[in-house]
Amino acid sequence: MPEISENKAFKALRDWWAEMGVEADTGLLRALETAPAPARTEAAPVRRKARPSLDARIEEARNLAAGAADLPALKAAIEAFDGCPLKEGARSTVVYDGVPGSAVMVIGEGPGAQEDATGKPFVGRAGQLLDRMLAAIGLSRQTNTLITNVNYWRPPGNRNPEKEELAVCRPFVDRMVELSAPKLIISAGNVPTQALTASRSGIMKLRGTEQAFTTSGGVTTALFPLFHPAFLLRRPQEKSRAWRDLLRIEQRLAELGGD
Ligand code: URA
């Protein structure tokens, strides 16, 4: 195997830290860089436990989800589940916040840095904007809304969760919808919208439309794709379209008897 130079190794370490959102201690890195290299010894091979197959992990998630009789039990089951590789790099398992049994459930993409640090979904800048958007139509996580995600662990560098990572979380998402039984689901952004609707279209096409979400247990709920608040922070000119979509959600919720 070709030797990796010490400088390259430190650069890789620094880049990896940056990707994980950790500020590198440059003083410490410089001291390490100039320290004499330790004498090489034969390292004992590290034996990692092989991860069960994707099918086996999905099956385990299904069994755990089916065994949960209420939302606190489901939260405990998700926290105990080790079948999503993202868990290894995350500090917290971020499950839900808000009021179980609410008429509205917001489903986002997955935790970011602030959510990973606090264990609660949507608490960073995007989360604060989400709270203001919900308040505009009389919704709040303190009284009448449950907030969750399609993935419960922060992906490194805040990348999008991958298909397999979403697949192992999916039984829990379905069970949460069945246990909380919202009248209306808001999917915040492209990732949950594509994960929860069978549509190949993205958020740009689907926002403002009514879709249907059906769980593996056969429960169907109205679903409204909405721009992700993080997208609105980057593109404030899109807020007027989001506002229109919120008014449509408010109206549909009243029709569904959920106000
Ligand atoms: N973005 C999301 O989609 N979910 C969170 O919980 C936080 C930010």
pLDDT tens per residue, range 184-213: 999 999 999 999 997 889 999 999 999 999
Q: What is the pLDDT of residue 245?
A: 98
Of 131, 149, 158, the one to substitute when testing ligand 1's pocket (max ligand atoms within 8 A of C-beta) is 149
Q: Is 3.40.190.10 the CATH classification of the domain at 54-255?
A: no
Q: How many CA atoms are closer than 13 Å to the CA of 105, on its beta-carbon side?
A: 26
Ligand 1 midpoint to CA 15 (Å): 24
Residue 38 has pLDDT above 80, yes or no: no
Does the CB atom of residue 130 touch ligand 1 within 6 A? Answer: no
Cβ-contact 189, 223 below 8 angstroms:
no
pLDDT tier at 27 (50, 70, 90 boundaries)? Answer: low
Mean pLDDT of 233-239: 98
Ligand 1 midpoint to CA 254 (Å): 26
Residue 243 has pLDDT above 70, yes or no: yes
Q: What is the pLDDT of residue 31?
A: 53
Average pLDDT, the chain: 89
20: burial class by Cβ within 10 Å (0-12, 13-18, 19+)?
middle
Least confident of 10-14, 168-172, 178-182, 205-209: 10-14
Does the CB atom of residue 121 touch ligand 1 within 6 A? Answer: yes
Higher pLDDT, 20 or 83: 83
| Cα 202 from Cα 133, distance rounded (Å) | 21
Cβ-contact 46, 125 below 8 angstroms:
no
